[in-house]
Structure 1
């Protein structure tokens, strides 16, 4: 089929997979954003207290932000 003024070109995408150093860098970035184990325990306790209705969620939010 011949269509005037219509051309189609297909190009193979140039995909580069990340290397080991890219994964290591990403993992280090994520680790730097995580809270310390002591902070995680504190926030987990607030979440558990809220889930068990020991704290109201606005109170837990205020404590967590403060």
Structure 2
């Protein structure tokens, strides 16, 4: 899908950035994709670990 540059600027995305696309009733909503922790769904300070996205609040044993 090609988005006009003005819309990409509004969303704060670059040309190859991923977007989250979903519906709410009859509306189609685009949001900049931000990976979230697989356990708590937070998006702050996430890293990939063994194929999963996790955040700093998860304690490793």
- TM-score bracket for this pair, using the shorter chain length: under 0.3
Structure having the higher helix fraction is: 1
TM-score (norm 2): 0.20
Computing the radius of gyration over CA atoms, which structure comes out larger, 1 or 2? 1
TM-score (norm 1): 0.19
